Chains A and B, each alone.
Chain A
Amino acid sequence: MARVWQLLLFVLIMAVLIGLPPLLGAGLQNAMTNMLIAALFAMAFNLLMGQGGMLSFGHAAFYGVGAFAVMHLMTAIDRGGLSFPTPLLPLAGAAAGLLVGLVTGWFATLRSGVYFALVTLALAEMLHSLAPHWEGLFGGEAGISSMRMPWGGFIFGQVIEIYYLTLIWVTLSIGLLYAYTRTPFGRLTLALRDNEERVRFMGYDAHATKMIVFAVSATFAGIAGGLLAVSNEQANYELFGTHVSAQVVLHTFVGGSTVFFGPAIGAAIFTLFAYLVSDVSRSWLLYQGVIFVLVMLYAPLGIGGVVMLHLRHWASIPWQRMVGPYAGATAATLLMAIGTVMVVEFLEALFSPHYVAQRRQAETSWPAFERFGASWEPFGILTWGPPLLLLIVGLLILLRLRHRIVALWDEVQETAETAARSGV
């Protein structure tokens, strides 16, 4: 993508991130803060995964450690009278992440592949099961709670202030991560992923290098956890749970681990999606899982990867012939999505304890249930017909268009190859 366009896009995104929140309510502002934190966490994770080629299933460990470090510092300021600038609180998270990352990284990077993943899992689980018993450090099941102190003229009492603080930290951190990729060490990280043996032959200590990459990733994960602690003013051992490690994996791969901003995109989409949908539907975790599996099956490069693919071949894509199939595919996907949502929501309604109670009270054994503001008969054609119809129609359209789109992309590949061969 041309430099100018990149810059414009960056400016646009920053303008939205800076200018939009004051217009939103505190609830949405808080959601955006969470979105930024999740994005940073995913980017930190992807430093290890996408660039270093090491899949970690225990990144919650550094996230949680960062949060607790900040909570202890916050408590020292709040109750111990320590004088420390509140905006710099996440530094404690970075320090803790770095320290724990170095130690655990030394152990973890002794192994690779699936064994590496299992080591990270074991370490995180050990921390998760140990934390509730180590009260001095982790505060039992209620965790550690404190309060942000005013500093430098700011009270840090409003959600919007915390949002901007988080925005500054996240922008700086992602900037640093980007700069990292531009350094020779960043290149070395990629080399480690591609061919570790060759790196060793070049004279580098692969183990030490991997350990440093691990530690850097843990540092930024610690900053993300620290930002969460600053925002919530509380941290407890739940932060070490497997679901936290799981979420960051989901975010990264849905966004695309091969593209630099992919994980941030995935995190942003999923956290906003969760915020908007979780109030409306009880099954949003299911939708999240389904989207993840579909991306794994049909778009293995993630959303970011797909976008990158289009940008790279922008010139050679036959847009006039592409627009039709793309529009059709989008429409078909939308139809299938609506159909799926309807089916899931209907099933959820039918199997809910509320409906079971309704059945017990009603005269007929299967009374109508409520969803989407309307009443539906459990065994009616009008209930199941529309969603099934939407699903089938959507599926058929997609199957038809798939061949067309694949054929068009084959053309694009050929054009790219011939261009490459002729040295254009």
Chain B
Amino acid sequence: MRAMTTLAVAAAVLSLGAAEVKAESLKIGIIESLSGAQTSTGRLFASAAQYVIDQINADGGFNGSPIEVVEYDNAGGTTGAADRFRQAVAEGVHIVVQGASSAIAGQITEDVRRHNIRNPGDEVLFMNMGAEALELTGEKCHFYHFRFTTTAPMRVNALVSAMSEEGDLGSRVYSINQNYSWGRDMEEAIRAAAEAGGYEVVDSDLHEVNRIQDFSPFVAKIRASEVDTVMTGNWSNDLLLLMKAAGDAGLDVRFGTTFLDQVGNIANAGETAVGHYIAHLVNLELEDEAWVQDYEQVTGHVPVYIEPQTVNAMLLLREALSDLDFGGEDIDVTQIGLALEKATLEGPNGTLSIRQEDHQIVTPVVVSRIDEGAKYAVDETQWGFVPVKVVSAEEAMYPVQDSCQMDRPD
């Protein structure tokens, strides 16, 4: 009798084991700039994604097993990204996550598109957490790419709306941007919003990316044009040096920026940053304190810069996964894509969702001002981002681009 029970139990356990062998675990590959100049940003995308995945796994994972996460270092270059993508595919990755550079995102989205054409049934999905070049949801759009961040027109529309309400916009605006796709997107958006915003773009500049050591000639030009506001999409050194040069020259203008919240910027800029504006996706002051504190406990710092938007993106994925059941069998990435299109997330600023036509996230945009007295001080200074206005998703959104011709699987 005992022997029979033991055998029965053994058989049951073995059959369970057999079932386990069939269950395919979801594999996510984070192909990021983990070395090179963009390391600090790349690391943030990775840690934010990992935070949510750990939560999903704590709740039982997906498809009967924990979600596997593999990090790949693309060394900050497109050839590195191409090599790592091939490695990821060979290792069975279903979803690729990346955000630190539009050029690299351009490479990855094309690699994903080509892979999917050549391997029907074995598709890979690309979650773009931070690359804002318009062409990714334009010329280069395809079903398996999802953008979870804003674009130039969204940020500019929000800035214009908030700053004019605060009376800080004025009627004369100067546009200065970097001479590549993002900078040109920004310039176009600034011009396009002029009529609605009631201002005139007095002059504009496109300068070389990350090469200019000395912005004082530009500052001289800005002063000469007698503008009230300077709008710029510059990041890293280009933003810092511009603001420092303006501060050094005693220039009295208001800056409307998009990347002032990059880690280290406020510490570096110091007093010169105070009073200027930034349009970004999340301001911690408006968020639920519980998750901010939990994030700090897990990772060691409050979510900064692009971490909140990445967390939201992964939460949307979680939402999509909860509607799916592959019964422990092979994972169908196309189904994940279709579910992701329908996923929504309620946030303190509004609802997040995905626009079906080009897979652009529909999100409210927050405009903040750098000032003292913010709830969360930044970079260990006395300043932080004080929320000024939450611009609704409808107001901030940009129209679907004609160049996006998406082939749908259904």
A–B direct touch, CB within 8 Å, in complex?
yes
Residue numbers of A with Cβ under 8 A of B are: 25-27, 30-31, 34, 132-133, 140-143, 145, 147, 155, 157-159, 228, 232-234, 236, 238-239, 278-279, 282, 353, 357-358, 360-361
**Given A26-B90, A132-B179, A157-B118, 5 more pairs with CB closer than 8 A:** A27-B87, A27-B91, A141-B180, A278-B73, A357-B300
- Contact of A142 with B102 at beta-carbon distance under 8 Å, contacts A30-B83, A159-B86 already known: yes
B197 on the A face (CB < 8 A): no
Residues on B with C-beta less than 8 A from A234 are 78, 82, 107, 110-111
Q: Give the contacting residue for B110; candidates A25, A157, A233, A353; CB below 8 A.
A: A233
Residues on A with C-beta less than 8 A from B164 are none
Residue numbers of B with Cβ under 8 A of A are: 34-35, 40, 43, 72-73, 75, 77-79, 82-83, 86-87, 89-91, 102-103, 106-107, 110-111, 114, 117-119, 133, 135, 179-181, 209, 300-301
Say yes or no: B73 contacts A141, CB within 8 Å.
no
When chains A and B are docked, how far (Å) is the Cα of A57 from the Cα of B72? 31
Quick one: closest A residue to B84, CB to CB? A27
Quick one: closest A residue to B133, CB to CB? A142
Residues on B with C-beta less than 8 A from A238 are 77-79
Say yes or no: A26 contacts B87, CB within 8 Å.
yes
Q: What would be 10 A-B contacts, judged by CB atoms less than 8 Å apart?
A: A25-B91, A26-B90, A27-B90, A141-B103, A145-B107, A232-B82, A233-B111, A233-B114, A239-B79, A361-B300
Quick one: closest A residue to B180, CB to CB? A141
- Contact of A145 with B106 at beta-carbon distance under 8 Å, contacts A140-B180, A234-B78, A361-B300 already known: yes
When chains A and B are docked, how far (Å) is the Cα of A142 from the Cα of B35? 20
**Total A-B pairs, Cβ < 8 A:** 79
Q: How many Å from the CB of B338 to the closest CB on chain A? A: 25
Quick one: closest B residue to A26, CB to CB? B90
Quick one: closest B residue to A233, CB to CB? B114
Say yes or no: A232 contacts B79, CB within 8 Å.
yes
Residues on B with C-beta less than 8 A from A353 are 40, 43
Q: How many Å from the CB of A281 to the closest CB on chain B? A: 10
Say yes or no: A147 contacts B114, CB within 8 Å.
yes
Q: Which 3 A-B pairs have the closest CB atoms?
A: A26-B90, A27-B87, A157-B118
Say yes or no: A140 contacts B181, CB within 8 Å.
yes
When chains A and B are docked, how far (Å) is the Cα of A279 from the Cα of B71? 9
Residues on B with C-beta less than 8 A from A155 are 118
Q: How many Å from the CB of B260 to the closest CB on chain A? A: 21
Say yes or no: B103 contacts A236, CB within 8 Å.
yes
Say yes or no: B89 contacts A26, CB within 8 Å.
yes
When chains A and B are docked, how far (Å) is the Cα of A140 from the Cα of B184? 11
Q: Give the contacting residue for B180; candidates A31, A132, A358; CB below 8 A.
A: A132
Q: How many Å from the CB of B148 to the closest CB on chain A? A: 19
Q: Give the contacting residue for A30; candidates B34, B78, B86, B117; CB below 8 A.
A: B86
- Contact of A145 with B110 at beta-carbon distance under 8 Å, contacts A238-B78, A357-B301 already known: yes
Residues on A with C-beta less than 8 A from B301 are 357
Q: How many Å from the CB of A224 to the closest CB on chain B? A: 13
Say yes or no: A279 contacts B73, CB within 8 Å.
yes
Q: How many Å from the CB of A135 to the closest CB on chain B? A: 10
Say yes or no: B87 contacts A30, CB within 8 Å.
yes
When chains A and B are docked, how far (Å) is the Cα of A140 from the Cα of B182? 11
Say yes or no: A360 contacts B300, CB within 8 Å.
yes
Q: How many Å from the CB of B317 to the closest CB on chain A? A: 25
When chains A and B are docked, how far (Å) is the Cα of A26 from the Cα of B209? 35
When chains A and B are docked, how far (Å) is the Cα of A121 from the Cα of B209? 21
When chains A and B are docked, how far (Å) is the Cα of A147 from the Cα of B118? 11
Quick one: closest B residue to A356, CB to CB? B300
Say yes or no: A142 contacts B75, CB within 8 Å.
no
Residues on A with C-beta less than 8 A from B77 are 238
Q: How many Å from the CB of A77 to the closest CB on chain B? A: 14
Residues on A with C-beta less than 8 A from B110 are 145, 233-234
When chains A and B are docked, how far (Å) is the Cα of A376 from the Cα of B34? 24
When chains A and B are docked, how far (Å) is the Cα of A360 from the Cα of B91? 36
Residues on B with C-beta less than 8 A from A158 are 118
Q: Give the contacting residue for A142; candidates B72, B82, B90, B181; CB below 8 A.
A: B181
Residues on B with C-beta less than 8 A from A147 are 114, 117
Quick one: closest B residue to A236, CB to CB? B78
When chains A and B are docked, how far (Å) is the Cα of A132 from the Cα of B86? 26
Residues on A with C-beta less than 8 A from B209 are 132, 141
- Contact of A141 with B181 at beta-carbon distance under 8 Å, contacts A27-B91, A238-B77, A360-B300 already known: yes
When chains A and B are docked, how far (Å) is the Cα of A239 from the Cα of B114? 22
Say yes or no: A142 contacts B103, CB within 8 Å.
yes
Quick one: closest A residue to B206, CB to CB? A133
Q: How many Å from the CB of A423 to the closest CB on chain B? A: 55
Quick one: closest B residue to A158, CB to CB? B118
Q: How many Å from the CB of B59 to the closest CB on chain A? A: 26
Residues on A with C-beta less than 8 A from B119 are 157
When chains A and B are docked, how far (Å) is the Cα of A157 from the Cα of B89? 13
Residues on A with C-beta less than 8 A from B114 are 147, 233
Quick one: closest B residue to A243, CB to CB? B77
Residues on A with C-beta less than 8 A from B35 are 278, 282
Residues on A with C-beta less than 8 A from B103 are 141-143, 236
When chains A and B are docked, how far (Å) is the Cα of A282 from the Cα of B43? 13
Q: How many Å from the CB of A350 to the closest CB on chain B? A: 17
Quick one: closest B residue to A142, CB to CB? B106
Quick one: closest B residue to A162, CB to CB? B86
Q: How many Å from the CB of A37 to the closest CB on chain B? A: 11
Residues on B with C-beta less than 8 A from A233 are 110-111, 114
Residues on B with C-beta less than 8 A from A34 are 83
Say yes or no: A26 contacts B86, CB within 8 Å.
yes
